[in-house]
Structure 1
Amino acid sequence: MRLLVAIALMLSACAKSELAKHSEIAGRLLEQRGAPDFADASTHEYPAIRHVPSGMLCLLPAEGAFEFDVFPASALNAGAQCSTTSGDTLVAWVAVQFREPTTLDIAFASAVAQLNEGDPNARAWEGEPSAADKSSPEGLPHYRIHRLRSNIGGEDRYLRLAMSERNGWYVQQLVSAPIADATTTEAQAGQTWRTVLREFAAQPVDH
């Protein structure tokens, strides 16, 4: 019994240690950047920050460039964004509260149309959706996903657009990667989308 208690205490200490490390990373980033409306959202599994008004989670990468900011006061709609660039792969997250009422289907259709503007000959990506995307979405808000194969600057690329809505806030995931990396990128994007979507659904919305 004492051994079990000791093991439990050791595991708890390790978890707290990882949480402290991740919170330190996020806290340092927030202090350096000074962006409003963002707060530390780290767990023992990952360092992260959250856009508090929307509930959008931004996972901090182990490597690569990371940027985040809120929309300027002059923007038509309120919102924020964060993005990670690693090699030739870009992952961007956007939270928007539209000034004019809309629906998930309308907002998603508009975003897909904008994505298609880069290549009129873009076509649906023929690969398999990620295992995470094919699993049951029980307890998660409704969402839409669109995957493309598009030629950008003379290079074939995989594009993924996912969007969900909750209490007037729309969260969007946009992923771009070389077509050769599409399968791996899709698998990772699906897992991250589920993580962010669960957090998005769980957070209270600051009106």
Structure 2
Amino acid sequence: MRNSIQIKKTGSLNQYCLSVFLLALVCLGASGCSLYVMAGKMFFGDPLQTCEFSRTTKVDLSEEDKKVLVICSTPESIRSDYPSLNYDLLEQITYRLRRNDVNVMDTGKVATWLDDNGGVWNNVDELAENFDADYIIHVDIDEFDYREPNSPNLLRGKAFGTVSAYEVREIDGIKRALEVFASEYTSEYPSHLPVSIESESPKVFRKKYLDRIADQIGRFFYNYRTGADI
């Protein structure tokens, strides 16, 4: 009698396990690989996304011992309204690249050189000649503002420009900067509704927006987790 009860319990357990297994197969069939993806995230975190620069050039700046120069530029119309924008972006982008193991040249040397040259430079070859860099990253911001047009009490960041990278090579004894990567950059934050100055001061919002721009531009050049927020 006891053996008969044990057999019945074992049979019920086997049927239960079989039912769970079949249900899992049905879920997998219905959702494709989503369960595998969810399981992978649970154990390993979000997958690492290869940055656009590495996909284009096959070069990983975080793994190769390459010295990188970062420089930012804006037109006079922006510099007159935001005179510190170039240097603020330079510092923030440099910080993020270094945090992701990219060997970036000292921002102080770049700023000093720019000051000595009136804050302008003619071409990238000039930078290649004056700095001992393997790559030059040029962030050219054509448009920038963090105030909603015709609404002085509303804040919304908008920026547009081009992000380029150059490999420095010596050709006939002269250092030249050859473009190896270029991409347009467009930003709007927040994308749905602007922020009222009653809920956040313009100074705090501007700092937050510059951090966001630096994160987005930095991701052109270092790999990142797909689930990481910016």
TM-score, normalising length: structure 1: 0.31
Q: Greater relative contact order: 1 or 2 (C-alpha under 8 angstroms, separation 6 or more)?
A: 2
TM-score, normalising length: structure 2: 0.29
Which protein has the larger Cα radius of gyration, Structure 1 or Structure 2? 2
**Structure showing the higher helix proportion among its residues:** 2
